[in-house]
Every structure is written in C-alpha cells, then in structure tokens.
Chains A and B, each alone.
Chain A
C-alpha cells in the first residue's frame, strides 16, 4: 500500500509536518517495495483558501491508500474519506520516525476531523 507522510522537507530525515493542507512536501512510502517518492505541495502552501482540499485532491490523484499527518480539518477529511483514504495521526519528530511508527502499527486512526475549519 502507498502511504503519504506530511513533511517539512524532501527527505526521510526531514522534520515531520503536523499540518496537512500546508505541509511543504508529501513523502509517499510504498510498504510493498520499501520505495519512497517525494511530492511537493507548493499549491497548498501558497493557496489563500482551501489548502486542505487541494492537498487532499493531490493525494487522491497520487492514488495513495493512507495519510499520516498531525491534524486534519473537516474539508480535507471529507475529501480523503470519500476516496477511501485512511488518516493516521502522528506527532513524530522526523518522517523516518513516523514511517517506523506506522510499520509497527503504533498510530491511531482519525475517525473525524481533528480541527475546525479555518473559515470559522
């Protein structure tokens, strides 16, 4: 399965980003092949509104099965869940750490948005 991790940089040693919509990068890890791919999220970082929606769209297009992030608002949650993408929560320091936690099944799954929308 393909899992996207929110990251502040473009490598496994980068700091894990607790923000979903405005994370600088998504590091996509394939649990079957152990390969990682980097996806930048400039559109999300720079968007005036709806960063979560555009980031979620990006991950739907990248055909990931799960997301590991720190927080997820209502709109992003809706888009991800509609497309059967599971959302796991982590507060790891680095992406590497988050991947390890994910592999060891240490992460809890989010069944609802963790934050209210920024428009409220």
Chain B
C-alpha cells in the first residue's frame, strides 16, 4: 500500500505528517519505506535520523551528434518540441537542460548520426533507521527537470509493504509524477485563504487522477474555518487535525518528530493509518 502526502501550498506540513506517519507505522509493521520525492529540497532525513547505507547516481539520456555522419538535414531540430536540439549551420547544437529524453531525435535521424549518452541529474540516498527505510531523491543544482528523478526514487517502492511518499509542493508535473501511482493521498493544508485556494487545486488534481484522498489540516486555530466549510460542502473527509501548538513548532525547528516527544498526538496519527487501511481494504 502506498500513501502519498501532498499539498497545493508549500510549507503546510507535508514532511511533518509523512515522517510522523512513518514512525507510527514502524511500530505496527515490519518495514516501512519512506520515499522523499520533494527532490529540490528533501527534508525527511532531518527528522528520520537514519544511517546512510547507499547512494545511486541518476542519469537521463541526452542526444550526442556524430559530426562525421551528420548530413545537416535538420530533421532532429524539426522534430524536437522543446527546442533541445537546434540545427542551424553545421552540426546541431544540444541544449541539455531543455531535453526531455524522449529519444525522438535519434529515431528521425536517417544517417544515424545521433546516439544517446547519460547525463547526470541527481542522486538517490538510502538511509536506514530501525524499521524505516528512507529513500531520498536529491536533484543536482542546475538540473531543471525533477520528474525523471522522482520516477527513479519511486522504483524503490516496496509494493508488498507500506510506502509513504513525501511529495513536492504544488500541482504541476513533479507532483503528478510523485502521486500518480499512490493508493491514497493525504492533502495537507492550513486554515487560511492561501491554504484553501491551493487545496482546491490539489483536490481537482486528485479527482482527475481518480484517487481516494482526504485532507489533513495543520495549525488549526491559527486561521479561520473556511477549509473546514469547504471540506464539508465537498464531502471530503478530514483525516487529521493538528492544532496550532507552539510545542510542535519548537520540535520541528529542532528537527525532531512530534511522536515520542508529544505522546498526546500519537492516537490521532494511529487513526490516520487505520482509517486509510480500512478504506483500501473495502476497495479490495
């Protein structure tokens, strides 16, 4: 089973919820895999004090042109929708940060002057902490495309067991890549106009993807009741509410998880896993 923790708005508490869920799940299951797909700024490792056990370099394919075979016909340049390969005079020029690695340019090249080479975009770090395996994608600075790296992180999902995905913020391609195969999505928001606006976008995405989802509201009491009202109107379950508690903020700023430090919140996190488990069982 895979639970993705996502949000429209950034900074609402995805990592807080994902890491605390992983900790509570590790008390219940033999193994939990936490996949940090927020590859531009992965933070789960701060809260899961694990030991780094491995790393893996992630490459994508980009075209390389063999000048001696190129007939300067321009077919590669005409084909590329992203202007990643440009044929002007002489040898085509490759703009590697534009390339989406579709391989089309090498297919349309009649004289077979284009072959694909590896281009590094980031790494995957593997951490182990008790029963938690944390798999973290880390995008290289200057690499613009995160979906291929997120895809590589997701290859380490363990379908037989419980996986928790810490998704990037927003509702664009990286988020879709992170949550598209999840069994259940938790949308984290805050009770503010900004929180609601971005939650509505995230709900639209979840519905488009035909996903089971619920809302988690963080910092309850710091804003108003507009998110609660919206969820009621739309019949969206609110699976977790975390109060606007200074103690939680202090723990977070010191890189500590809530559970184990504030045991009064344990029950509400346990209930999240139970509720999701029941929903998924009913589906099967």
Contact = CB atoms under 8 A, between A and B. Distances in A.
Interface of A: 47-51, 53-54, 57, 60, 75, 78-79, 82-83, 117, 119-120
B193 interface: no
A50 B89 contact: no
A60 B144 CA distance: 27
A5 B84 CA distance: 25
B144 A50 contact: no
A119 B97 contact: yes
B88 A120 contact: no
B88 A57 contact: yes
Given A50-B98, A75-B95, A83-B89, A119 B83 contact: no
B1 interface: no
A34 to B, nearest CB: 29
A57 B87 CA distance: 9
A49 B86 CA distance: 13
B82 interface: yes
Contact of B86 (A48, A53, A119, A120): A53
A23 to B, nearest CB: 16
B88 A53 contact: no
B205 interface: no
A49 B83 contact: yes
Contacts of A119: 97-98, 144
Given A50-B82, A119-B98, 14 more contacts: A47-B81, A47-B83, A49-B83, A50-B83, A50-B95, A51-B83, A54-B83, A75-B98, A79-B93, A82-B88, A83-B89, A119-B97, A119-B144, A120-B142
A75 B86 CA distance: 11
A48 B98 CA distance: 10
Nearest to A47: B83
B127 to A, nearest CB: 29
A50 B93 contact: no
Query: For this complex, into which size category does the number of interface residues on chain B fall?
Result: 10 to 19
B88 A50 contact: no
A44 to B, nearest CB: 9
Interface of B: 77, 81-84, 86, 88-89, 93, 95, 97-98, 142, 144
A83 B83 contact: no
Contacts of B81: 47-48
Nearest to B83: A50
B149 to A, nearest CB: 15
A117 B97 contact: yes
A120 B98 contact: no
A4 B88 CA distance: 18
Contact of A57 (B82, B83, B84, B142): B83
22 contacts: A47-B83, A48-B82, A49-B82, A49-B83, A49-B84, A49-B98, A50-B82, A50-B83, A50-B84, A50-B98, A51-B83, A54-B83, A57-B83, A57-B86, A57-B88, A78-B93, A79-B86, A82-B93, A117-B97, A119-B97, A120-B142, A120-B144
Contacts of B98: 49-50, 53, 75, 119
